[in-house]
């Protein structure tokens, strides 16, 4: 199993991505091809004592797409940008999956132009796992496309169902449409138009509208929304989790001697909670609807997140999620023709 890692264009530079890739090779026994500035990568591999590891190779890319650049324009004009080169490797089957933590827009554009969509998929979607009281809830789209037609959201539901089945191991995942109320008549025009389409879709288990609080309650396994709403939900959830952990620590430190003693007693439990809420534990989000496994990480991802993202990429490839999505989308299209 060979994983391409785009190591350029991130908040911390290549160092965290290279270290994450080195750790993944040691932990999982995979191969990685590091795409980016060869000189910098070689120096980092020496620093991490991995320059002699034959499982790690380098593919030089002379350009970088910065976060501030227009994604589509940059992808088309910078043919030797690291994410463009990495996508080319994926398309040519020189690797089994790709991990990137650069510009999300550039990654999506490179995936669309360089790898291509699964037949029948109109729009790719980013599927993000969010911890819940009962396990994990998948939210999509988390930012691949800010706007979405009802038909696109139905396809997101189908792809999210496959993700929940194959990656999270949920049997018959429950699908909900994110809305401001549970009633079928609630919501904006987009939600009102999407609801009946999801209701008649035979390849998913649709349970109706769900509200924001249901994501963490665990009453639903797959939550569908457009990329604008999904990205807001994701960033709010991550920020809230960090804020709560900080407030708990501050309350303990300011609560006097008894509070500090209590804090020491519950420290192991707090560590477990922090780990469960840490986005780095999930690695990255899957870009679904693309013809090969493609993982998108935060621009601020550190080595731990990259290592876990490579693990997810390996699982994505081994479970053949791309082929299963293609089959489900084709089945949905056939059912649609029959109903006509």
pLDDT for residue 162: 95
Which tokens sit at 134?
Answer: 């009962």
Q: How many CA atoms lie within 13 A of 153 on its CB side?
A: 29
Residue 276's SS3 state is helix
pLDDT for residue 276: 66
Identify the structural domains of the chain with CATH numbers, from first to last. Answer: 1-121+289-319 (3.40.718.10), 123-285 (3.40.718.10)
Mean pLDDT by 10 residues, the chain (340 residues): 90 88 93 94 93 92 87 89 93 94 88 92 91 89 86 94 92 94 88 93 94 90 93 84 80 76 74 65 85 88 89 91 93 79
- According to DSSP, residue 281 is labeled G
pLDDT for residue 340: 64
Q: Closest by alpha carbon to 221, among 237, 202, 205?
A: 205
Alpha helices in the chain (DSSP H): 14-28, 38-47, 71-77, 82-91, 104-110, 150-166, 189-200, 212-217, 227-254, 256-265, 267-277, 303-318, 321-339
pLDDT for residue 200: 92
pLDDT for residue 154: 95
């Amino acid at each position: 199993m060979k994983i391409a890692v785009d190591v350029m264009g991130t908040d911390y530079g290549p160092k965290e991505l290279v270290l994450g890739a080195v750790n993944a090779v040691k932990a999982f026994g995979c191969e990685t091809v590091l795409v980016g500035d060869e000189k910098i990568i070689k120096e980092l591999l020496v620093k991490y004592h991995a320059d002699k590891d034959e499982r790690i190779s380098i593919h030089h890319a002379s350009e970088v797409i910065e976060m501030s650049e227009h994604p589509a324009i940059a992808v088309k004009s910078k043919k030797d940008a690291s994410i463009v080169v990495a996508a080319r490797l994926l398309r040519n089957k020189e690797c089994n999956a790709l991990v990137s933590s650069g510009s999300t827009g550039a990654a999506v554009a490179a995936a669309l132009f360089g790898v291509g969509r699964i037949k029948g998929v109109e729009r790719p979607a980013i599927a993000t796992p969010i911890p819940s009281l009962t396990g994990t809830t998948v939210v999509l789209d988390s930012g691949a496309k800010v706007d979405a037609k009802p038909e696109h959201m139905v396809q997101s539901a189908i792809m999210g169902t496959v993700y929940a089945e194959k990656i999270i191991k949920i049997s018959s995942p429950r699908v909900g449409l994110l809305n401001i109320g549970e009633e079928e008549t609630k919501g904006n025009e987009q939600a009102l138009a999407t609801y009946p389409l999801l209701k008649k879709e035979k390849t998913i288990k649709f349970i109706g509208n769900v509200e924001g609080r249901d994501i963490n309650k665990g009453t639903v396994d797959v939550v569908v929304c457009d990329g604008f709403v999904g990205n807001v939900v994701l960033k709010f959830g991550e920020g809230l989790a960090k804020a709560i952990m900080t407030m708990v620590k501050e309350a303990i430190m300011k609560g006097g001697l008894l509070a500090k003693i209590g804090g020491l007693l519950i420290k192991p439990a707090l560590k477990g909670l922090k780990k469960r809420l840490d986005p780095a534990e999930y690695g990255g989000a899957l870009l679904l609807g693309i013809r090969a496994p493609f993982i998108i990480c935060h621009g601020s991802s550190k080595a731990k997140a990259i290592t876990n993202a490579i693990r997810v990429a390996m699982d994505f490839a081994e479970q053949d999620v791309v082929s299963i999505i293609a089959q489900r989308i084709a089945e949905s299209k056939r059912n649609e023709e029959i109903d006509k």
